[in-house]
Structure 1
């Protein structure tokens, strides 16, 4: 299996088994600061609402609901799995790295050590129309993180 095939499989798996999905059923831990952001891509209709909770400088919970293409839903799933347990500073660094890769039009390679499964979205950078699909949940997470911090 090539790296491209592996990355495609990660995106397909996450679009089907959506980690962190189910915003309505989750309450933040007592004493945690929370932030919530709703983002919409009017071009394609992708929509994500993401809530996260921060306690003692660490992300203790990420949950989201959304509707859209497999790339946007897989990206939200990967993000929620990756972000849980990170410090606020680490998550800001990961979001910025993800943004840099996606906006590079394929010129910046993803660092799998930093991005984990999110490195699978590196190929999306070559398709400008799909970058917003992959970024929507990350923009929501950045906004929610700023609210909670």
Structure 2
């Protein structure tokens, strides 16, 4: 597959998550809630984590923002649901490395659609958009 075809596929994945977000909504009951925003561009997110026995049983988000921010939140919630908190934090670290253009070892973790956001690393102003949901998750896990 050529680079331009791969780039187009990644754009389609990002837009699919933006237009059809996974895990968008609210969890009823006793959950950990984290509100964060990116004052630079106005993205905002409310992330809810339901954690039982160190496992993310459910995760949902609500908010508004650009396609990068909202699709990243959708992808992140899909990726961490059912994972241990340690695995979720490890994924977040890998995602940060990806945003910084570092080489990543993804052998142990399946990043699924998240790799579609790799191109964001070429646009430093958009990195904060892509990492907003991940930073909210980290903040919530550290509260746990």
- With normalisation by structure 1, the TM-score equals 0.86
Query: Structure 1's 121 and 114: CA in aligned 2 closer, same or farther, altered over 3 A?
Result: same
Q: Quick check: 1:36–1:50 contact (8 Å CA) kept in 2?
A: yes
Match of 1:143 among 114, 139, 143: 139
Match of 2:118 among 115, 118, 122: 122
Alignment root-mean-square deviation, CA: 1.8
Aligned partner of 1:97 in structure 2 is 94
Tell me by how many angstroms 1:109 deviates.
Answer: 5.6
Unaligned runs of 5+ in 1: none
- With normalisation by structure 2, the TM-score equals 0.89
Q: Deviations over 1:48-84 (max 9, x none)?
A: 1101011111100101111010110100011111111
Tell me by how many angstroms 1:35 deviates.
Answer: 2.2
Match of 2:56 among 59, 62, 68: 59
- State the alpha-carbon separation in 2 of the partners of residues 15 and 110 from structure 1: 27
Q: Which has the higher contact order (CA 8 A, sep 6+)?
A: 1
Q: Secondary structure at the match of 1:60?
A: strand
- State the alpha-carbon separation in 1 of the partners of residues 33 and 103 from structure 2: 30
Number of aligned residue pairs: give it.
140
Alignment of structure 1 residues 1-149 onto 2, 5 Å: 2-23=5-26, 26-28=27-29, 34-104=31-101, 107-108=102-103, 111=106, 114-148=110-144
Query: Structure 1's 43 and 110: CA in aligned 2 closer, same or farther, altered over 3 A?
Result: farther
Unaligned runs of 5+ in 2: none
